[in-house]
Amino acid sequence: MKLVRYGDTGAERPGLIDPEGVLRDLSDHVTDINASVLGDAALARLRALDPSALPAVNGSPRLGPVVGDIGKFLCIGLNYSDHAAETGAAIPEHPILFFKANSAIVGANDDVVMPRGSTHTDWEVELGVVIGTAAKYVSEDEALNHVAGYCIVNDVSERHFQTQLTGQWTKGKSCDTFGPTGPYLVTRDEIADPQALDMSLDVNGKRMQTGNTATMIFTVAQIISHLSQLMTLHPGDVITTGTPPGVGMGMKPEPVYLKPGDVMELEISGLGKQRQTVRQDA
């Protein structure tokens, strides 16, 4: 299934995309796409519905963040060997973990707003993983059983804030609008192998990032297992799993950063597309 949340910010309604690409309303069956409907049993009930019997939604409404009331927004850094190389960083021995503030989360096609003083705002296409059932001390073999589904995340980053303001990466990762997610939550039964997904990101029509999740240093299963040894992963938690090469800070001979008016377009096979316009905060 492709589950969505559609409508104005803060008033999103639950829906799904049927096999013909039509947006259908789920409000008669669930109040939201949130932790309460991400477990296997709840998803099975939604899967059993006849999509053609659900009300079609007219027009092209805004698509909001794929999960309502996201719990933790966990991020893995430097998880592609070629991306680590372009930034001059060593290959990590364990998954590098940082957090994005939940207030950074927006819809897949919402504007990305450069904060005041930003000169180094950068892009990162990433595979997002949404937890469906609680995971604590899980093995790699059972880790993917705790996944509700997958989505695209743009881990937008202000590199000066991230590296020069003293402290953790969170400062440069958590600006408002720096976490577009979606457009869909694609349930795990539709993704045969999360380590075989093509990824791309364009800026103003120019291809910047091309990659595949096969080149992750730590797989989705390894990441979930590792994190579950440290903390309980709860339904509705989102993990974004790192980016392939081609970020602005790695460009040669000089880094390239976003400016107002730029347009980012992201795609991951099977997970849809994102499109964001960049603007400057007032």
Q: What is the pLDDT of residues 132-146, one digit of tens each?
A: 999 999 999 999 999
Predicted local confidence at residue 199, as pLDDT: 98
Q: Which domains does the chain have, with CATH numbers?
A: 2-53 (no CATH), 73-280 (3.90.850.10)
Complete edge-to-edge strand list for the sheet that includes strand 198-203: 112-114, 272-280, 263-268, 198-203, 206-212
Q: Which residues touch 276 (CB under 8 Å, ≥6 apart)?
A: 108, 109, 110, 111, 112, 154, 180, 263, 264
Q: Which residues touch 158 (CB under 8 Å, ≥6 apart)?
A: 114, 115, 118, 120, 121, 122, 172, 173, 175, 178
Distances from the Cα of 98 to the Cα of 84, 178, 227, 242, 244, angstroms: 16, 14, 11, 11, 17
Q: CA nearest 176: which of 92, 251, 111? A: 111
- pLDDT tens per residue, range 14-33: 999 999 999 999 999 999 99
pTM above 0.75, yes or no: yes
- pLDDT tens per residue, range 39-75: 999 999 999 999 999 999 999 999 999 999 999 999 9
